[in-house]
Amino acid sequence: MSLKCGIIGLPNIGKSSLFNALTKSAIPAENYPFCTIEPNSGLVQVPDRRLDELDNMINPKVKVEAIMEFTDIAGLVKGASQGQGLGNQFLSHIRETDALIHVVRAFENDDIIHVSKKVSPRDDILVVETELALADLEQCVRSIEKIKKKSKGSPKESATKLSILDELCGYLSDGKMLRDVSLSDEANKVVQDLQFLTAKPTIFLANVDEGSLKGNSFSDSVQEFAISNQSNYVILCAALELELAGLSENEKGQFLEMLELKETGLTKLIRSSFDLLKLHCFFSAGEKEVRAWSIKHGATAHEAAKVIHSDIQRGFIKADVIGYDDYIEYSGEQGARENGKLRTEGKEYVVQDGDIINFKFNV
């Protein structure tokens, strides 16, 4: 399972540098607005110390991490919902994502142009959020008009959907983000079908300079906004992360030690993005391969089987399950089995984070 996070924000705030660091690619990141025209996407490995431990224990031929997809979307500006700065094109790219990473400039630098001529994180956030809300409102109104034209065929169904859309229009007109509103299951279905931008879960990322890795007044403003809106928050220096991405693991470790950091900002961001999408991992472990498989929280063994292959789901018989801690404590499957830590589960078993699973199935 690979879900997509879109990297958004104003122009010239470090989105492309962040994306380059994430994917170790070399897309343009020059210092001018709208350098990024087409969205750039890349698959990123999800760091997981548990997978590393399994790899060290089993020494398989292959180790395969879970992956996420990140998409760098060109900068939004005030008026984007009306097409300013190629805004409509960029907004359409955002609709295709599952979650958003809203990058906010949290540093001073006279050499890097700010579209508003001053650094004001809260104002910058509100510009982007307002454009997302206006775009959703416009789509909501268009959907209402479209339904009214076709309502003769199924008036009851149309009346229900119109009522929901009217409710959503009310929230958006008040400047509310739909992610912050408690909606019915029916309303959530409409929101999902129409891919509303303001409903997407969001991480607010404060991009600081290298001298402010522990925060500054700008990043404090971003954090306060994120907390008040019940959203995730990450602080990092995109320029530093890009530099770190080009180092060997040994060099990176030495650099982090010098900076008194335990891990890179990217690791925190990837993990936070994974959590934001309500994903966790189960593992397959054998001499040929150890692999992390990402699934939604609450997924059953039957659903997890499909993540590996649809044939396994169709022929599902049972799942032999060992908790990660037990697998490590008893040195693998044989030791776990001998100590009564291997369980046989059926289709409805809810997979737990870190489970090591061996599926039994008919071909």
Specify if 318 maps to a domain: yes
Domain boundary among 212, 242, 276: 276
Question: Which domain CATH number covers 266?
Answer: 3.40.50.300
Residues 166 and 240 in one domain: yes
Give the side-chain half-sphere CA count within 13 A for 187. 16
2: pLDDT strictly greater than 80: no
Comparison of pLDDT for 26 and 350, the residue scoring more: 350
Residues 189 and 100 in one domain: yes
Specify if 144 maps to a domain: yes
Asked if 12 and 114 touch (Cβ cutoff 8 Å), the reply is yes
| Domain membership of residue 105 as a residue range | 4-276
26-71 pLDDT, tens digit each: 444 444 444 444 568 888 888 899 999 999 999 999 999 998 888 8
CA angle 236, 242, 244 (to 5 degrees): 90
Q: What is the pLDDT of residue 1?
A: 57
Specify if 220 maps to a domain: yes
Q: What is the mean pLDDT of the chain?
A: 88
The whole-angstrom separation of Cα 232 and Cα 46 is: 18
How many structural domains is the chain composed of? 2
The whole-angstrom separation of Cα 327 and Cα 337 is: 9
Sort strands 99-105 and 67-72 into parallel, antiparallel or unpaired. unpaired
Residues 212 and 306 in one domain: no
Specify if 199 maps to a domain: yes
187-245 pLDDT, tens digit each: 999 999 999 999 999 999 999 999 999 999 999 999 999 999 989 999 999 999 999 98
SS3 content of the chain, % helix, strand, coil (to 5): 45, 20, 35
Mean pLDDT within 121-132:
92
The whole-angstrom separation of Cα 297 and Cα 231 is: 19
Residues 70 and 183 in one domain: yes
Specify if 141 maps to a domain: yes
Specify if 286 maps to a domain: no
Domain boundary among 276, 307, 323: 276
Residues 15 and 83 in one domain: yes
Residues 222 and 313 in one domain: no
Q: What is the pLDDT of residue 152?
A: 61
Question: Which domain CATH number covers 302?
Answer: 3.10.20.30
Residues 268 and 346 in one domain: no
Residues 33 and 74 in one domain: yes
Specify if 61 maps to a domain: yes
Comparison of pLDDT for 219 and 149, the residue scoring more: 219
Mean pLDDT within 151-159:
67
Residues 40 and 94 in one domain: yes
Q: Which residues of 323-354 are buried (b: 16+ CB within 10 A; e: fewer)?
A: bbebbbebeebebbeeeebbeebeeebebeeb
Residues 227 and 331 in one domain: no
Pull the structure tokens for residue 146: 């479209």
The whole-angstrom separation of Cα 229 and Cα 232 is: 9
Residues 204 and 305 in one domain: no
Q: What is the DSSP string of 272-328?
A: HHHHHTTEEEEEEE-SSEEEEEEEETT-BHHHHHHHH-HHHHHTEEEEEEE-HHHHH
Specify if 282 maps to a domain: no
Residues 303 and 265 in one domain: no
